[in-house]
Structure 1
Amino acid sequence: MYGITEADKVFLKNKLENQKRYLDNNFLYINGKNIPYSHFYFSSWHNSNRYIAELNNRVSSLNDYAEKEGLKPIFAVLTLPSEYHRQKMITLKSGRSKLVYNKKYINDDKHSVKSGSNKLQFLVRSIMNSKHFRNIPPKQRCYISTKEPHLDGTCHLNLLVFVPEEYLNDCVSAIKSRFLDTHSKVETNINNPTAYIMKYIFKTLDDLRQNPELENLTDITFWYLKHHIRHFTMSKTFVSLEIYRKLNGRIGLISLTKNYNKGLITVIIDPETKKPVQIFDEFGELWQKIKIPKVCNNTPYKMNDKNISKRFKELQLLNYIDELFGSDNKNIKCLNRIPINRMSNFELVNYYHNLDLENINLQHLGYVENILLERDLNCFTHINTPHDLNNLTANDFIKRGLNVNPS
């Protein structure tokens, strides 16, 4: 069904298993605990309950926003012309329906499932950029769209638009004038817009809502994965999802957007990555990015000999830690540290004060103190530092990995 073959299922299941293994077996070290990546990451399949809950919240928030603004809904189904459909539905004399090969189908990259999906998304942009929609103030128009497959796998799109009542007829005309075939349709008599659009969204997520196990996934989920198609898109009515997710839902989407637009919430963006690094309001900090070191990568499924390769890596890291911190520190977690010269002043001072000065290699200690001096950070403890080398014996030098000068 939906153009998914058994080979597709095997390939996609293997891909999902590898993703899940990676997310479960790699960790962030936070407050003395190893927390797997899977705790933070969610998508339509990974942590699907969180994904669906957020999806429901976004749709509900948009509907609440439209009601407060006095906007009216328009629902449209946008379908592709016959040349995009590999098969078509016919009705037999017995009354049964059957899928048969469509002679008008064009079998090339320009008419693939993904290309059809892109064409429908371009159609939505064309509608929203039309003269009738551009006459509406930006805050008075918003939309939700969701894509789903026909039985033969061809994509179609459901669009829910909210506009002021006085623009309703013009906007309906703008949508109808862009229909690609006769199966597309428009409705305006909708009593509960949220339930209406969620009916279409949830039917593509039923297998994930009921029992999101790998063996229970249906062809419709594999269709989204195979063709890299988004379940759901919406207008930029609210603050970006990246900011909303950083606050873990502590502030509602509507309230967060209003406060952000009024300048009551400030977001500091990293100029290089374009990602948020700090969020605060008039009362103080709401969120700040913390540079958390990664725990060693355990992805044994990528190795030929799982046990030997894994143990070899562990021994290499332990030997490195022994050389750097001394042999009494084998309880130190296997962390990928930031290079010393790239640490911030705060990180560098913290790192320096946590060094084991009784057992550390003095060459490494001298290197750290030189960087501190270059940054005018005078925070030395003066305990067994390079300043006290005259008090060390030859055995002390050998123990700490330094060459003894015969002179």
Structure 2
Amino acid sequence: MRIVLGVTGGIAAYKAALLLRLMTEAGHEVHVVPTESALKFVGKPTWEALSGKPVYTDTFEAVEDVNHVLQGRKADLVVLAPATADSLAKAAAGLAPDLLGNILLTATVPVVMAPAMHTEMWEHPATQANVATLRHRGVHIIEPAVGRLTGADTGKGRFPEPEDIWDQTLRIMADAHTEKPLAGKHVVISSGGTREALDPVRYLGNRSSGKQGVALAEVAAQQGADVTLIAGAMDIPAPEHPNITVVHIESTRELLDAVLNHARAKDALIMAAAVADFRPATITSDKIKKQDGASAPTIVLEQTEDVLKTTVEQRAAGEPLPRVIVGFAAETGDATTTPLEYGRAKLQRKGCEILVVNEVGVGKVFGQDDNDATIIFANGSPDVPIKGTKTAVAAEIIDQLARALA
């Protein structure tokens, strides 16, 4: 494999030399392209000695070979490590001030970037917007590690260990050459919580963060699917990915309309949104005023639409809705019934093919980075317990969905 290793001007440039050694020892041909500032940390002789190849930094070097285009065209992989905040900004803007910038613009192969910078720089809205833009274009961004930074600082932004970067890069390359199980499929996923208006200011809602739905959308897209994400209220931004289209909704009625519209003629539907079961029977046009000495108003509730059950019923009536529908059940147990038992009853009532049962409560699932759930099946297949990060849980759900579609 022919690799272009771009190195930018951060203190972590010395670790890129270790990454280069891993690449060459694996038998790959590596062409190092440092920026001028990178050479202030690690000199050209080091890169040439470790790679066994000449090192160029300027667009006007080796012009007889059209080097600024040739390098990107001939590469099988481009890795930018470390990627500073400045280099991410330039790449997102499409700037090409040097040879490395030109290579990034001409490369049509997988591009992997490993950012390294201080925590404040990584968390700055400009950097996060640049990362989102690059990911939307298909660039693979390896999350920086948490740990000791330059000086006495500690936090997120540390350059990942070279072995971790190389392992993730190999997985990315393997995925690029592996047929995706959801290639050619279109999956609709709902995420976040619905909000039911009480007056122009207040609403009834729930604690859903949207993290699980976003993870499902990202994993489904990685597995080759075109994804429509129907997003309610979420604590995190909607994912930016070329295969993900985002539709925003607020109320349960809007969610039902969006599902029946966008899921038509699609392959699968995953209902991960936390849907409000009740809404105020009357919505006041003016804000309800708090008056001293007066009693609190009585709010009469009515049931909202059952989005999952309605979708299954309309499919049964002949509407062209997905043949595989995955529901979510956020349950709490009581003295006589476990959350899983409530989930089995719900699966039977709803009529979907797969149900993911979560035990919820304060500090459980909602807003957390981890999840603990059980996948149950209408066809009697054995239960699949899953526990881990929401991305890991999403991966198992998407795997079960792919099997059902197959």
User: Is TM more than 0.5 here?
Assistant: no
- With CA pairs under 8 Å and 6+ residues apart, which has the higher RCO, 1 or 2? 1
- The structure where strand makes up a greater share of residues is 2
Task: Say which one has the larger Rg.
Answer: 1
- The structure where helix makes up a greater share of residues is 1
